Structure 1
Amino acid sequence: MQHFLESIQVAVMTISVAPPITTEPPAFDLEPQAHVIRSDAEAIEVAKALAAEFAVEAAQRDRDRRLPAAELDRFSKSGLWGITIPGTYGGAGVSWVTLTEVIKLISAADPSIGQIPQNHLAALDAIRVTASEEQKRLWFARVLQGYRLGNAFSEARSKHVGAFETTLTPEGDGYRINGEKFYATGALFAHYIHVGAVNPEGKVHLAIVPRWAAGLAIIDNWSSFGQRTTASGNVRIDNVRVEAEGVIPAYLGGEKPTTNGSVSQIIQAAVDAGIARGAIDETIHFVRNHVRPWIDSGQEHGYDDVFTIAQIGDLKIKLHAAEALLERAGRAIDAAFDDTTEEGATAAAVAVAEAKVLTTEIAILATNKLHELGGTRSTLGQYNLDRHWRNARTHTLHDPVRWKFFHVGNHALNGVKPPRHAWS
């Protein structure tokens, strides 16, 4: 019993340690030169190689809250952060099935690293759909060179997640922005920050500014017990100057049928699928190498226990079901991508919502079963296996699946289309 209590104490200490609050950015390459990926197959191979590398110290990074600045440099320089850029602008224009597989691979290795490009990729899609041709050429070229976009979108004090109090005010040939943001995943590591702000007419724009713009403060005060190294803290915006080239009319993505919301959501679902995949792999390894047979099983090894075997089978089946819906959702986005109709946008949104439900459920189930099947020793601090559950529980809160059930059901029963925004 004493040994059990000590192990639980270690786990609790691991969960509750908060990071120091800092505005000092981690060191990263300020003048990147990225590789340009040319095909879907190349993107998958590059992601597999990086995932194997990122997995090696994932547990240690989580334990120490060590920000993955060097890993992100390798990630973006690999070319993977530019693979959704259309071929007409120099990118690979990979399918969304490929993009979700890339995110799954990286997230299975380290879901904090897998989550960080989400807002970057969502911003690229907003640029694709709503920006001018000059803006597309400018920002796509910068991303293909290796520059990263960081998020400053959600606000902690507004009425709800889609309400914005950050203002975008015209000034001469440019603009000024003022406000405060939270959940700013990726901002601390970014070269440019895309800020969600409303103009005097109340229309939401993305205002893209350099990371070191005067009046911009990015604060690493992320204290969540999960996704610890995403640095998803605050951004303070005090009269920051924005040039016209950086002001993107993102609101247009909600006024006409687009895949903007589906793109944002499918990346989140892919992160959760990756968490599940990584947790199941970890469970199999732990059961094979560390678990004793239960006293009543009559077996020589823990991996011979019939109930454990059945549970592993159940996890695999549910993971494959979630991945199948995720692939189906990716194909729905691909089908609606270039010439989006109301029907295509709705089909994509519903398919992504369905995938989001199953990826959420398998992420939570798999990370919980890791400890059930691994036994008490799986809670020991030396393994840091609780990071899988902490990551799943934290990330799956991003967009509540209770509303996914509602939107899918309301569409099936009443023909009501899901709403158009980044959380649907």
Structure 2
Amino acid sequence: MPIGHSPNADGLDFNQLSDPSQATALELDNFEEQLPTRQLLKITPGPSADEQYDRLAGIFRPVFSQIAANAKDRDLNRVLPFEQVGLLNRERFGALRLPVADGGYGARLSDVFRLLIELSEADSHVGQLWRAHIAFVENVLALDDEALRTKWIARIAAGQIIGNAYTERGGNALGTLNTAASLVDGRWVVDGEKYYCTGTIFADWTTVAVSHPELAGRQIAVVSTQRSGVKILDDWDGFGQGLTGTGTTEFRQVPVDCFMPQQTNDSEAAIFQLVLMAVQAGIARAALNDLRRAVQSRTRIFTTGTGVPVYQEPQVLQLVGEVSAESFAADSVVIGAVLEVEAALGDPGLNDEERYAVCELAANRAQTVVQPLAIGVTSKIFDGLGASSTRSGCNLDRHWRNARTIATHNPAIYKARIVGDYEINGVQPQRLSVTGEDSTHRA
């Protein structure tokens, strides 16, 4: 039997056509024998001889493989990936960036993102839920307060995970927050409600954006998710990325562990965005993987084709090549942007505002390019497979749904304008403020 024509690894049959008259019979004996393809392309873009990344990948790729095994079914049946987060935490994925002397892996920022792309290829939900944690770790590494830095490094090294509770669903005026910190019996506590709390349902701690009676602007309180006053709801009802815990978190008189210093890390907003871009790149890879397997296993052909097996059909091969190129481009843009951020963080010649601008511009440029690539890839795969690929049991639409959902974030539509305003007018990106209601709006 020719290579690639064994039953589909996922148990999917892409040979069923809604209109059998569109197919012609082709005997398997007519297939030319194919030799296994030698994979010459690197699994991830970047330096070719890199022992550090190879060492890290050797630790986590077996875990990624376990996570990938049932990703399609988890998405189809809405099963939150608690077990998969546990597998990663057993290897202390969240401690990647910590110095080896502090119990971490000593990974570069680019190492983290290359691994994140691979993880998101296995399951995009699991990749995204680390978003706040990855940004928080960078904040910790940049802390000047040595006691606070030591406390959080010890917690992260022990495998504790940090979530996110920044955004309110509505009802707050633009630039203000309804969630507040207050002093009760000599201790700071938090009261309020947040939404879009990605990852918090899996986390030990969560950062909470609050108003503070003694400090101006948005403050970041960190609270334990194990407190009795914390209620985490799995009520995210978006059509994509449904397993990331992106729902409501309620806080009632929850004690504050600490307040994070303002502007600890000038790359935080960029890292939040680049995590989403890494997830998009992983989704594009996963879509390519499914397309490859389906084309290799397909035996039905169309009378409107050239009469050769699908795995030799020139137009199908062209389509697969385009998808492969677009996936590769997404990977490369993400890693290029991360390397730009990595360089900015280590550049003593930049002041805080310049460093923030470099990081933001790198992330915004990447977002402008990567999101259309991922959306295109996840839509295009159906063109090479026919109507049978749209069956709900195949769940191939999850790639598009997940990519499309991520592509709405923060919101993506504004990013190219921000870059253009910088290029033409020298206007630097503005620091993150608070989303809220427009008080001037009239119905």
- Tell me which interval the TM-score lies in, with the shorter structure as reference length: 0.7 to 0.9
Alpha-carbon separation, structure 2, partners of 1:84 and 1:162:
33
Alpha-carbon separation, structure 1, partners of 2:363 and 2:72:
30
Partner in structure 1 of residue 208 of structure 2? 195
RMSD in angstroms over aligned alpha carbons?
2.4
Q: CA deviation at 1:4?
A: 5.3
Aligned-residue identity in percent: 27
Q: CA deviation at 1:73?
A: 0.8
Partner in structure 1 of residue 128 of structure 2? 115
**Who wins on radius of gyration, i.e. which is larger?**
2
Alpha-carbon separation, structure 1, partners of 2:309 and 2:373:
26
Corresponding residue to 1:150 among 144, 163, 186? 163
Alpha-carbon separation, structure 2, partners of 1:344 and 1:252:
12
2:59 pairs with 1:46: yes
Structure-to-structure mapping, 1:194-343, within 5 angstroms: 194-200=207-213, 201-243=215-257, 246-249=258-261, 251-253=262-264, 258-290=266-298, 292-338=300-346, 339=348, 340-341=350-351, 342-343=353-354
Alpha-carbon separation, structure 2, partners of 1:395 and 1:51:
21
1:118-163 Cα offsets, whole Å, 9 max, x none, are 1111122233335621111111111111111122221111558975
Structure-to-structure mapping, 1:72-87, within 5 angstroms: 72-86=85-99
1:399 partner amino acid: N
Q: Check conservation: 1:293, 1:304, Cα contact below 8 A.
A: no
Partner in structure 1 of residue 178 of structure 2? 165
1:310-355 Cα offsets, whole Å, 9 max, x none, are 2222222222222222121111111122445344432232122111
Alpha-carbon separation, structure 2, partners of 1:158 and 1:409:
32
Q: CA deviation at 1:290?
A: 2.8
Q: CA deviation at 1:52?
A: 1.2
Q: For residues 241 and 343 of structure 1, do their structure 2 counterparts lie closer, same or farther at Cα, with a shift above 3 Å needed?
A: closer
**Relative to structure 2, which stretch is displaced further, 303-312 or 96-105?**
303-312
Q: For residues 398 and 88 of structure 1, do their structure 2 counterparts lie closer, same or farther at Cα, with a shift above 3 Å needed?
A: farther
2:132 partner amino acid: N
1:248 partner amino acid: M
Alpha-carbon separation, structure 2, partners of 1:362 and 1:161:
33
Alpha-carbon separation, structure 2, partners of 1:41 and 1:371:
34
Q: For residues 131 and 57 of structure 1, do their structure 2 counterparts lie closer, same or farther at Cα, with a shift above 3 Å needed?
A: farther
Q: Check conservation: 2:130, 2:199, Cα contact below 8 A.
A: yes
Alpha-carbon separation, structure 2, partners of 1:220 and 1:162:
27
Structure 2: gaps of 5 or more residues: 1-16, 20-50, 435-443
Partner in structure 1 of residue 116 of structure 2? 103
Q: For residues 301 and 313 of structure 1, do their structure 2 counterparts lie closer, same or farther at Cα, with a shift above 3 Å needed?
A: same
2:140 pairs with 1:140: no
Q: For residues 242 and 344 of structure 1, do their structure 2 counterparts lie closer, same or farther at Cα, with a shift above 3 Å needed?
A: closer
Q: For residues 46 and 173 of structure 1, do their structure 2 counterparts lie closer, same or farther at Cα, with a shift above 3 Å needed?
A: farther
Alpha-carbon separation, structure 1, partners of 2:362 and 2:388:
39
Which structure would you say has the larger RCO, counting Cα contacts within 8 Å and 6 or more residues apart? 2
Partner in structure 1 of residue 387 of structure 2? 376
Q: For residues 420 and 92 of structure 1, do their structure 2 counterparts lie closer, same or farther at Cα, with a shift above 3 Å needed?
A: farther
Q: CA deviation at 1:356?
A: 1.5
Helix, strand or coil: the match of 1:66?
A: coil
1:230 partner amino acid: T
Q: Check conservation: 1:174, 1:241, Cα contact below 8 A.
A: yes
Name the TM-score, length of structure 2 as normaliser: 0.80
Structure-to-structure mapping, 1:339-350, within 5 angstroms: 339=348, 340-341=350-351, 342-350=353-361
Which structure has more helix as a fraction of its residues?
1
**Relative to structure 2, which stretch is displaced further, 210-219 or 269-278?**
210-219
Q: For residues 164 and 233 of structure 1, do their structure 2 counterparts lie closer, same or farther at Cα, with a shift above 3 Å needed?
A: same
Alpha-carbon separation, structure 2, partners of 1:350 and 1:138:
32
Q: Check conservation: 1:39, 1:92, Cα contact below 8 A.
A: no
1:366 partner amino acid: V
2:370 partner amino acid: T
1:319 partner amino acid: S
Paired residues, number: 383
2:329 partner amino acid: A
Q: CA deviation at 1:81?
A: 0.9
1:147-204 Cα offsets, whole Å, 9 max, x none, are 1112222111155897532111234553111110111111111112221212123332
Q: For residues 291 and 247 of structure 1, do their structure 2 counterparts lie closer, same or farther at Cα, with a shift above 3 Å needed?
A: farther
Q: Check conservation: 1:44, 1:98, Cα contact below 8 A.
A: no
Alpha-carbon separation, structure 2, partners of 1:177 and 1:282:
45
Alpha-carbon separation, structure 2, partners of 1:337 and 1:88:
21
Alpha-carbon separation, structure 2, partners of 1:178 and 1:134:
27
Alpha-carbon separation, structure 2, partners of 1:51 and 1:375:
30
Alpha-carbon separation, structure 1, partners of 2:378 and 2:315:
17
2:127 partner amino acid: G
Structure-to-structure mapping, 1:330-409, within 5 angstroms: 330-338=338-346, 339=348, 340-341=350-351, 342-409=353-420
1:261 partner amino acid: A
Alpha-carbon separation, structure 2, partners of 1:365 and 1:73:
33
Alpha-carbon separation, structure 1, partners of 2:174 and 2:62:
36
